[in-house]
Amino acid sequence: MSYGAQAYARTAQTTASPREIEAQALLKAANKLQHVMANWDDPDTDFAAALLFNRKLWAILLSAVTSDDSQQTIEVRQNIANIGTFVLTQTAELQLHPQRDKLKPLIDINCNLAAGLSGRA
């Protein structure tokens, strides 16, 4: 990456809103999972790395939404916590019993939540 592109990327990160940063992280996780799904016949370390990234991201999101500092309504917090619980359970299940079709709901959840955070839903 050129110096100019690196500088632009750093500036874009510092000017993005927290919601946009969360949306970008969710899309990054979705892309990693989509890559695994598209290359299912050729398993490699990408599978474990994609699941780990998604699990860590959702652990952070759950921590933020359940924090006393969260500015979301109780209803929104509960909905995100329920989704997060499903995502973490599904991820653990995939680690124990890999199944290609169980990646799709995780990808869809990440993409839909990212769209909502970005105002595209």
Closest CA to 79 of 113, 119, 118, 30: 113
Domain that residue 73 falls in: 17-118
- The reported pLDDT for the residue numbered 42 is 73
Q: What are phi and psi of 43, to 5 degrees?
A: -65, 145
Query: How far is residue 28 from each of residues 3, 69, 71, 97, 107, measured CA to CA in Å?
Result: 23, 26, 25, 23, 10
Number of domains in the chain: 1
Given a contact cutoff of 8 angstroms between Cβ atoms, the answer to whether 1 and 86 are in contact is: no
11 lies in a domain?
A: no
Q: Is 37 inside a domain boundary?
A: yes
Interval 55-108: pLDDT, tens = 999 999 999 888 888 888 899 899 999 999 999 999 999 999 999 999 999 999
Q: Which helix (H) or strand (E) holds 6?
A: helix 3-15
- Residue 73 forms part of a structural domain: yes
Q: What is residue 90's predicted lDDT score, i.e. its pLDDT?
A: 96
Q: Which of 9-13, 32-36, 66-70, 100-104 has the lowest mean pLDDT?
A: 9-13
CATH code assigned at 62: 1.20.120
Q: What is the mean pLDDT of the chain?
A: 87
With pLDDT > 90 as the criterion, what percentage of the chain qualifies? 65
d(CA 19, CA 30): 16
Whether 2 is covered by a domain: the verdict is no
Cα separation, 78 vs 116, whole angstroms: 16
Q: Would 8 be classed as within a structural domain?
A: no
10 within domain boundaries: no
Prediction pTM value? 0.82
